[in-house]
Amino acid sequence: MKEKKWDGLNDVCNTIKQKIRNGDWAEVLILNTKLQKVVDSLRGEFKSGGTPKSYVKFLVYLQDEAGEKTKLGPKSGKARNRMKQNFRKMPHLSDYTEELAAYRENPEESDEPDSSDSDSDSDSDSDSSSDSESDSDAKKKRAAATKKKKKDSDNSSDSDSDKSSGSDSDEWDASSSDESSSDEEDERDKKTGRARWVKKNYVPKTVQKAAISNTEREMKRIKEAKERQQAAMLAKLEAAKAEKERLAKEAAEFTPAVLKSQLNQVIADRGKSGTDPKVQIAKLKKLCHKANKFGAEKVIPVLMHYVSALFDQVYGIDSYLNQDTWQECCKSLTRVLKALEDEPTIKLGAMSSDAIATIAQLAKTKPEAGNPEAGETAGKAQPAQDLTEDKVDEDGVLHVPGDVEGFVSRLSNHYTKALRKTDPHTYEYVNRLEDEAMLLDLARGAQEYYMRHNIHAKASQMAQTCMEHLYYKHDSVAAALSTAKALRLKFGAKNMYHPACSSRAVKSNQGVNVEVGHPAAAAGYPSVAPVKVDVAAALLQLSTYIYKHGSP
């Protein structure tokens, strides 16, 4: 039982040494508790036979390693500091201060074998003797190797004295390194015992960074910020330039033939199951903008298809167009009438449903492989092929889907339905009343178009539409609506006004201090000259035309 205790002490000491070599000081703390228990169980043997030299040597090693200042991780460094403090707190470490001091003063005598040790110290003594023997053997071998190296270096320096300067420098470097290593070994050979094997403290060299003042740091930060801002601006300019080049290239490649092909494809896709109407409307709107450069013959058919697609969104008798869609239809028809006014010789003609079906069928037709002219020949065989050319025929008629008079009448009906379905006490109702001026301008423009081409039946229908939206108004109401229309044409919608100029209390001739107020307030509330309207005279003129040219 006694021998097992001594073996347990040696095992714990060797395990702690191994953990220290691995840098695992957290495990050393745990094993320290186990060491305390083993030492407490051997207190009696320590008092009767003296403290074993192997344990004193182990404590010296442990204390030196705990006092090292090499850099470790946070966990290991903290554990090493606690282990260093344990030499002042724990009895199995602090009770042997005198033995440790004696060993440090004369480690050579302490390393000699002690005859007074008990039989239980046989293992430790044998280990120390084997260590000393191995140390002496290693010392002899290193001394012989050092002498041999010196001899070889002398011989090589004598034999190679006639070589070039480059080889001489290499030999000098090699010999100097050999001499430095031999000097270190000679120094180590002079020491004996534990001092010979103690590791020297390695102090890493620290490079001191130049101190930077706050002003320099701030200037550096500002410079980097400016560089980033310039880089972002350059990237933005490059992206804008690339986008501009792409749009220019796309516009150059967009020809009347491409417009015709894309329009036919959109018409063919309308009505198919799984086709999103909003996507088709967006494509038609894009084509309307692109077709402006080709003139009235190309843009009018696209606009009429666009208006027709907008009306197709309404399902049911009581349904009506919302305000945004209604205004979009009104603006598109106004563009049609403006194009017809610029080209007074063009006359619109209705396109039959059979012609539209033929266009859709032609859009799906593909030329035969290896014969690109086959598609053109097949297209010429179709009698409705000329309708896709978007050109005025011999009679000056441009065939388009729908009719201006029909679209204006539908807009009037949708406007009336919207007023009926809207609460008259809400702002939405008042806002919707302002759209009536747009409808009146559109109806007058359609009437003038039909009058130019002597189509009096439809012109009288447009005159009747104007009368329906005028007869119930007093002159003051009509004047207010006309003034609101003029205000919107000049300044835009009211919801786009700046808050600084939207107050009625602001006057344009009032001085504005820009330090406390917004400069937009200097313009005052937007206003236009009041418009005078003679409703009675307008009704007399319209009714006279209807009685003269209208159908019975």
Domain identity same for 428 and 407: yes
Tell me: do 330 and 423 sit in the same domain: no
- Tell me the pTM: 0.52
Q: Are the C-beta atoms of residues 307 and 325 closer than 8 Å to each other?
A: no
Token pair 């979009």 is found at 328
Domain extent for 348: 256-366+379-401
Same domain? For 417 and 546 the reply is yes
Question: 460 with 541, same domain?
Answer: yes
Buried residues in 117-141 as b, exposed as e (16+ CB within 10 A): beebbeebbeebeeeeeeeeeeeee
**CB 392 within 8 Å of CB 346:** yes
Distances (CA, A) of 257 to 12, 264, 363, 391: 95, 11, 13, 12
Q: Is 418 domain-assigned? A: yes
Task: List, as one string, the DSSP characters of 334-388.
Answer: HHHHHHHHHSTT-EEEEPPHHHHHHHHHHHH--PPTT-THHHHHHHHTSGGGGGG
From 83, 110, 144, the end of a domain falls on 144
Place of tokens 């500002």: 222
Query: Cα separations (Å) of 452 from 153, 251, 283, 344, 445?
Result: 119, 35, 33, 8, 11
pLDDT-flagged residues of the chain (< 50):
110, 112-141, 143, 145-181, 363, 366-387, 508-509
- Spatial contact of 277 and 309, defined as CB atoms under 8 Å apart: yes
**Same structural domain for residues 32 and 74?**
yes
In a domain, 208, yes or no: no
Cα(103)–Cα(99) distance, rounded to whole angstroms?
Answer: 6
Q: Indicate whether 430 and 494 sit together in one domain.
A: yes
| One domain for residues 281 and 308 | yes
What is the distance between the alpha carbons of residues 398 and 350, in angstroms, rounded to a whole number? 8
- Phi and psi at 172, nearest 5°, equal -65, -40
Q: Are residues 407 and 540 in the same domain?
A: yes
Distance set, CA 233 to CA 219, 220, 222, 239, 277 (Å): 21, 20, 16, 10, 39
Position 232 scores a pLDDT of 94
DSSP symbol at 312: T
Q: Are 76 and 26 in contact (CB under 8 A)?
A: yes
Decide which of 119, 144, 169 is a domain's last residue: 144
Q: Which pLDDT does position 222 carry in this prediction?
A: 93
Q: Vertex 41, ends 37 and 45: CA angle to 5°?
A: 140
Q: What is the DSSP letter of 273?
A: T
Count of Cβ atoms closer than 10 Å to residue 8 Cβ: 16
The domain tally of the chain equals 4
State pLDDT tens for residues 157-215.
444 444 444 444 444 444 444 444 455 555 656 666 666 666 666 556 666 666 778 88
pLDDT at 217: 87
Residue type, 95: D
Residue 383 and residue 414 share a domain? no
Residue 187 lies in a domain: no
Per DSSP, what are the bridge partners of residue 349? 399
| Whether residue 326 is found in the same domain as residue 238 | no
Question: What are the start-end ranges of the E strands in 243-363?
Answer: 347-350
